[in-house]
Structure 1
Amino acid sequence: MGKLKVIHIVPFIGDEASGPAYSVPALCSALSKLNCEVVLYTLAPLPERKFDFRVEAFSRSSIPTSSFGFSWRMYKSLSEDAKDADIIHNHSLWMAPNIFAGFAAKKANKPLINSPRGTLSSKALERSSWKKSLALKLGQRFALNATECFHVTAQHEQSDVRNYQNKTPSVVIPNGIDLPSLKGVSLNKEKTVLFLGRIHPIKGLDILLKSWKNLGDHTEGWQLKLVGKGDQKYVSSLANIIEKYNIDNIQILDPVYGSDKNVVYQKASIYVLPSYSENFGMTVVESLSNATPVITTNKTPWEDLQKKGCGWCIEPSEEELTKALLAALSLDELLLKEMGGKGRIWMEEEFSWKEISKKMLSLYQELKN
């Protein structure tokens, strides 16, 4: 069987705090190690690292706005590249590169896979709905109709896709993880509850702060660390809440990346992601890969945490989060480590990029044939 040429399109990969900015290049890298010629089209700037596959990055125009990400050079190059491709795989929606993917696939008569990456959830559709209506008129509707198959990362995202466009088939393949080596790593945990990621209202940090306050003396000797970046007004509002509650064991810290991020996970005793909505929750995978148990909500696709013995999956409410945090903080250090170890084994067995890329390659071959 000849080598498959697969073109991936994603609006940007420069922001390492964004899930697709990690997961799309990681998928491309894993596929390049299989029987695939991989090309990634994206907008500049690129992160300062090397890639083991071809990356084409283009400057965006300010027409109609820079946030739309229009690049005539990208469209021309993509259309030419698509002529000898086997599969066109688009990631995310509502920006010009996502529209280009549909036109290029249709023009070259090649199968188009669309990975919405959470952009079809009800909460996502509510945000800036007028921009999405405009994008549909500018070609996003055409690109969606050109889709032969949707790729989703979880069952609940599959429901979102079916609610939006139920006649197009969809396949569930989760994101993977580059498993960090724990060989020689000291897993002497600090008494830290960690949130790491984008600091945004959808992450449920309001109920996290309220729950931490509710715990009172139960948090003595513990630290709650919020690590990440977000809109400065929102970050300031959280700082004001912390000051209002007069709590001195909460810190808001700058984002960390790469190996530094793994160290932060490894030092924490518990990771918490109290999101109101989450397409996949890459930070859950990162935490478990670093042998740290997780508390998250049933608005993420991680209901199996409790069944696997490595965390809690709860309703996104102040009451339920307070209960889960109290349960976690009350556990012996060795029990928390044991839970983290179970999470690591789960990630090794089901979420390595090697296994995920094999599933994706099978989907490509099925569509090509």
Structure 2
Amino acid sequence: MKILHIVEDFSVKSGGLRTVIANLDFFLKKHGYDSYILSSDQEKEDDIFIVEASNGWLYSKEWKPKINHIVKTYHIDIIHIHGVWLCPQYVGAKYAVQNNIPLVFSCHGMYQPWLWKKGTLKKKIYLNLVSKKWFKKANIIHSITDNETKNIKKYFPKNSYFEIPNLISFSENSNEFKADGKYIFYLGRLNKTKGIDILIKAFAQLNNKNIQLKIAGGFNEYKAELDKLVHELGLSERVSFLGEVKGNEKTKLIREAWVMASPTFSDVIGMVNLEAALNKTPMITTHKTGLKEGWNTNGGYLINPNIKELTAKLKEAISWNAEERKLKGEQLYEFAKQNYSWSEQFYKWEELYTSILKNKVHVK
């Protein structure tokens, strides 16, 4: 079985999307399948196919020739589209349908209701007049949570669906938590969707002046708005923006955090949540992620994205002693290992791809 993944951006800037696709590619190869990735951007260490396109829609006349070259050269059996809004996904889906190549379509949370609040008219026009014609002919639409399935069905009611959550690789983790100082840690894109302003306002409600808030994510225009909020709340000495972090630096920051928080308005599992669990760090996030409710009773917290609920959970977290904090992290690790592990769940991807090859006819 040979699979071509098409994604707009495979660089670190794409956040959790890169992690999801990189892991899927790795485990496919590990189990003896041929897997290839086509994108407009990558990291230096990556070995993938690239079409250079830097305009807003990532338009390039090279997308179709490159896809055709990969398909013909490597005898591709399945094209898997990741994402919804840009040229590579549109061209890839159109090519698959026109050449009768089985098509998988993963939205990765990009049709979630919250994300339609901005640019609604343009998105509806693009969906209905440009992309929907091809996306609706996917053999299977992959969804990450039950809520995402319900949301996507509003746009593609006749398609077949296959639900597989985001997953992460678990190994025996001997990390021993070091209780040297306390900080709350946010890791992710600086974006209004992520509720970072809520986190800063909730942090301002804490009475403990010794605890810090560290925010990691690539700087952009939204940072100026967050800087202003931090200054207005008198938190300049206690809140730090770290910029983009990765590799060992990122792992160290996660492991040594007292607690992590991501009060997002829209997400589907969220890789940052699984990374926290992997490193035995308690994580406060929201019901909007679609995480299993057991997260709430196994070392993590699920809240609604508002200041009141987040403040309450942060106060509870900073009241733990070191042993309680360590136990919470270990509980979350075990819960996530059982429910979101590649070793436990990869068989679902095999089932998805195999089912497509048994019936190569596109949805009409």
TM-score, structure 2 as length reference: 0.91
> Which residue is 1:168 aligned to?
159
User: Is 1:97 equivalent to 2:85 in the alignment?
Assistant: no
Q: 1:46 aligns with which of 27, 42, 47?
A: 42
Give me the whole-angstrom Cα distance separating, in 1, the residues matched to 2:100 and 2:111: 25
Deviating beyond 6 angstroms after TM superposition, the runs of 4 or more aligned structure 1 residues are: none
Cα offset for 1:259? 2.2
> Which residue is 1:56 aligned to?
49
**Structure 2 spans left out of the alignment, 5+ residues:** 359-364
SS in 1 for 2:8: strand
How many residue pairs end up in the alignment?
354
Contact residue 296 and residue 302 of structure 2 kept, 8 A:
no
Give me the whole-angstrom Cα distance separating, in 1, the residues matched to 2:153 and 2:205: 40
Query: Residue by residue, what CA displacement relative to the aligned partner does 1:335-359 show, whole Å, maximum 9, x if unpaired?
Result: 1111101111223333233344331
Q: 1 or 2 for the larger relative contact order (CA 8 Å, sep ≥6)?
A: 2
Query: Residue by residue, what CA displacement relative to the aligned partner does 1:203-257 show, whole Å, maximum 9, x if unpaired?
Result: 1112212212222x2x23211111112423x212222222222123222222211
> Which residue is 1:157 aligned to?
148
Give me the whole-angstrom Cα distance separating, in 1, the residues matched to 2:44 and 2:20: 16
Query: Residue by residue, what CA displacement relative to the aligned partner does 1:11-54 show, whole Å, maximum 9, x if unpaired?
Result: 111234522122112211111111311111111x3201144xxx
**Mapping 1:281-296, distance limit 5 Å:** 281-296=270-285
Contact residue 158 and residue 170 of structure 1 kept, 8 A:
yes
Q: 1:187 aligns with which of 150, 171, 177?
A: 177
Cα offset for 1:137? 6.3
Give me the whole-angstrom Cα distance separating, in 2, the residues matched to 1:163 and 1:59: 34
SS in 2 for 1:93: coil
> Which residue is 2:361 aligned to?
none
Give me the whole-angstrom Cα distance separating, in 2, the residues matched to 1:76 and 1:50: 21
Distance 1:220 1:17, change over 3 A: farther
Cα offset for 1:101? 1.8
SS in 2 for 1:295: strand
Q: 1:197 aligns with which of 188, 192, 212?
A: 188
Give me the whole-angstrom Cα distance separating, in 2, the residues matched to 1:92 and 1:50: 20
SS in 2 for 1:119: coil
Q: 1:132 aligns with which of 123, 136, 157?
A: 123
Contact residue 213 and residue 238 of structure 2 kept, 8 A:
yes
> Which residue is 1:37 aligned to?
34
Per mean C-alpha deviation after superposition, the further-off stretch among 80-89 and 10-19 is 80-89
Give me the whole-angstrom Cα distance separating, in 2, the residues matched to 1:6 and 1:327: 47
Give me the whole-angstrom Cα distance separating, in 1, the residues matched to 2:141 and 2:261: 30
Per mean C-alpha deviation after superposition, the further-off stretch among 348-357 and 287-296 is 348-357
> Which residue is 1:297 aligned to?
286
Give me the whole-angstrom Cα distance separating, in 1, the residues matched to 2:171 and 2:28: 19
> Which residue is 2:232 aligned to?
244
Cα offset for 1:258? 1.7
Query: Residue by residue, what CA displacement relative to the aligned partner does 1:144-183 show, whole Å, maximum 9, x if unpaired?
Result: 1211211111121111111221221211111222346633
Give me the whole-angstrom Cα distance separating, in 2, the residues matched to 1:109 and 1:249: 57
